[in-house]
Amino acid sequence: MQHNNNPAVSHPSLLEVQSQFAAWRKTRKKRERIPESLWSAAVKLCAHHSITQISKALRLNFSDLSERVANRQTAKMAVATLPQDFIAIDMGQPQSTECIIEMEHRNGNKMRMHFKGQMDLDLQSFADSFWS
């Protein structure tokens, strides 16, 4: 049986991350924020150690680290809930839009709205007035 010892997949140890934080603290400017790469390394360590252990070992604020760990878990769950055949496409902001909204009330009234161009209307107000 072969073992895959790919260093790109391995995660840094607590001692390695501690030395990275120590090196950064020696060269940082006063009031400089912790770089995202160091935060990311600290968050990854929380998969194998408690948040308390990591916050103490790396001298980090427990609440800040806890929030980042929670945000990462939430992001992982959001990605995991997408269907396997779903492809997210970022279309950016459209220059002009076209929208058709059709509503039918159970009393038989119908309303159709067709908009072209910039969509800065309050469509909720139109809908509320129709349903009331």
**Residue 33: which of 61, 55, 66 has the closest Cα?**
61
pLDDT average, residue stretch 93-103: 70
pLDDT tens digit sequence for 1-55: 444 444 444 678 899 999 999 999 999 988 889 999 999 999 999 888 998 999 9
Q: What is the pLDDT of residue 3?
A: 45
Residue with the bigger pLDDT between 49 and 121: it is 49
Q: Is the pLDDT reported for residue 103 higher than 50?
A: yes
Bridge partners of 98, per DSSP, are 116
* Rounded alpha-carbon distances, angstroms, from residue 78 to 1, 42, 55: 35, 21, 26
Model pLDDT, residue 124: 72
Give the C-alpha distances (Å, rounded to integers) separating 98 from 94, 124, 126: 10, 17, 17
Please indicate whether residue 122 or residue 12 has the higher confidence score (pLDDT).
12
Please state the separation of Cα 31 from the chain's center in Å.
Answer: 26
Q: What digits encode the pLDDT tens for the residues 48-76?
A: 899 899 999 999 999 899 888 888 776 66
Q: Give the angle 93-78-4 at the CA atoms, nearest 5°.
A: 115
